[in-house]
Amino acid sequence: MTIETALRSAMETIPDCIAAGYVDMETGMLLGINTLDSDSAEVLDSLALAVANLFQGRGIKAFEELLRSAKAEESGNPGFGEIAVFSKDRLNIFLRTQEYPDHVVCYICRNSANVGLALTKSHLSLGPVAAAV
């Protein structure tokens, strides 16, 4: 199965999902994409560069370190595993893969999506999408 096929399959299960992408944070490259419209493809292209900063930026790293020190956790943890961002008309879901901690799967859904169901279905799709790389 190709990454594009895996993303398409995931989009079919995630409510109101209009785009999906697979990003390598180390290079900032979009390794796979599937969208319902060309506007979403352009957004994902731009988003690929921002994902690394979202997960590995200075502010996030400082916040994660604060949480680790409060819980006395190991520093071997790669950091946040998921981030959901709500905008005026979109729900953006970013999931770090366990197999490749520098890879993130991005889903863009309409704001009409059921958030709980979108997050659950996103998590369920993570394994098959990561396995397609």
Residue pLDDT tens, the chain, 133 long: 899 999 999 999 999 999 999 999 888 889 999 998 777 777 777 787 788 778 777 777 777 777 777 665 555 555 678 889 999 999 999 999 988 888 999 999 999 999 999 999 999 999 999 999 8
Q: What pLDDT is stored for residue 52 in this prediction?
A: 78
Report d(CA 110, CA 108) in Å as an integer: 7
- Helix and strand tally (H, E) in the chain? 4, 5
SS3 content of the chain, % helix, strand, coil (to 5): 45, 25, 30
Give yes or no for a contact between 121 and 13, defined as CB atoms under 8 angstroms apart: yes
Q: What pLDDT is stored for residue 28 in this prediction?
A: 84
Q: What is the pTM of this model?
A: 0.84
Question: Residue 114 is which amino acid?
Answer: N
**Residue with tokens 């993303």, as numbered in its chain:** 7
- Long-range contacts of 30-35, Cβ-Cβ distance < 8 Å, separation of 24 or more: 31/3, 31/103, 31/133, 32/2, 32/3, 32/4, 32/6, 32/7, 32/132, 32/133, 33/4, 33/7, 34/4, 34/7, 34/8
